Amino acid sequence: MNFTFAEEQEMLKKMARDFLVDKCPKTMVKQMQESDKGYSPELWQEMAGLGWMGLVLPEKYGGTEMSFLDLTVLLEEMGRACLPGPFISTVVLGALPILESGTDEQKQKYLPGISSGKTIFTLALTEAGGSYDAASITTRAVPDKDGYVINGAKLFVPDANVADFMLCVARTDEKAAPEKGMTVFIVGAGSQGISHTVLKTIAHDKLCEVVFKDVKVSKDSILGKPNQGWEIVQKIMQQAMVAKCAQTLGGLQQMLDMTVAYAKERVQGKVIGSFQVVQHYCATMATDVDGSRFSTYQAAWMLSQGLPCVAEVVIAKSWANEAFGRVSTLAHQLHGAIGCTIDHDLQYYTRQGTAAALTFGSSDACREMLAQEMGL
């Protein structure tokens, strides 16, 4: 097995790191997190100029036609920089589903705007229960003349405050099994009847409650086929879980690097890195980080190859969730009091990782999915 990056991926990784170190210092992260939008439109356009929004899109839509594995490399660097903003919402939750399930007209209508950085997407999926399963979806879309009328409320919708469009998952057949009566609609975020409220979160990201009240959509807005939307959602979830793993991995690696550097510099009688317990703590952190790296990139490669990989995806997500908890705890312990202050960079990664561990699947939810995949 060859775990090394291809030359093109190494170039992407280096370019992304150099750009983010220069353009996204922690002062900028803080500024974006505290802003109403949650991101910098100027930085967003610079990223679009580098081809990041269209990284996995075909050239005819303004993209560079790279793979999901390449996207994972980029997402790791974004996680390392703690970059806020609607990148995963737009590219993973919006562009990829349209590319894979949309009509030619839908692709031509939305994908060039995403590639250019002009269009922001998100996914309106979860509801009051906070679960990602089909049975928890109660938002309804009822046929009406030449389209549908959507009513319901969605919770924890990422970046709905700045989105131009959202993929809304709604129940269109009350009599069918939960997985068989679902449809995905492409809905303008500014449509009449849609309102949103930004929620307070530990990561200071922009999760929103979105309410749909008699929102009218045309039949042309259906992504895929009516009543078969859950298959699209399942694919979105696999890609989103691996994307979040990559982002978490970047944060894990940065916490490890910061802690090792600190252990080599901090003196308590002598350099604390010379104490065996500190050495073992750092070694334990490195083990967790590499475990997350190998499982994340295995799942990303399989997704890129179009291989069945439900088990690999949920293993990667479960490992990343729990590795984060262990690595974060040891990083704060080894930094001591300074690592527990709001002025230290560690807090950015701790808050981001805590939220990521619940996003697109907690460890318990992943175990349940893995058990089902094993036939239990």
Question: In angstroms, what CA-CA distances link 173 with 142, 178, 181, 227?
Answer: 9, 9, 4, 7
- CATH 1.20.140.10 residue ranges of the chain are 231-373
pTM of the model: 0.95
Which residue type is seen at 28?
A: M
Q: Where in the chain is the domain with CATH 1.10.540.10?
A: 7-118
Q: Count how many Cα atoms sit within 13 Å of the Cα of residue 160 in the half-sphere of its side chain.
A: 30
DSSP three-state, residue 79? helix
The CATH code of domain 7-118 reads 1.10.540.10
Q: How far is CA 269 from CA 135, 239, 272, in A?
A: 59, 49, 8
Q: pLDDT tens track of the chain, all 376 residues?
A: 678 899 999 999 999 999 999 999 999 999 999 999 999 999 999 999 999 999 999 999 999 999 999 999 999 999 999 999 999 999 999 999 999 999 999 999 999 999 999 999 999 999 988 889 899 999 999 999 889 999 999 999 999 999 999 999 999 998 899 899 999 999 999 999 999 999 999 999 999 999 999 999 999 999 999 999 999 999 999 999 999 999 999 999 999 999 999 999 999 989 999 999 999 999 999 999 999 999 999 999 999 999 999 999 999 999 999 999 999 999 999 999 999 899 899 999 999 999 999 999 999 999 999 999 999 8
Q: Domain spanning 231-373 has what CATH number?
A: 1.20.140.10
Q: Which 3 state secondary structure label does DSSP give 361?
A: coil
DSSP-derived letter for residue 213 is E
pLDDT at 130: 81
Q: Are 281 and 261 a contacting pair, CB within 8 Å? A: no
DSSP one-letter code for 6 = P
The per-residue pLDDT for 129 is 82
Predicted pLDDT at 1 = 63
Fold of 123-229: Butyryl-CoA Dehydrogenase, subunit A; domain 2 (2.40.110)
The two three-digit tokens of residue 314, written as one number: 């949920």
Q: In the chain, where does the domain assigned CATH 2.40.110.10 lie?
A: 123-229
For residues 155 and 127, the answer to whether their CB atoms sit within 8 Å is yes
What pLDDT is stored for residue 3 in this prediction? 80
Contact 131, 91 (CB under 8 A): no
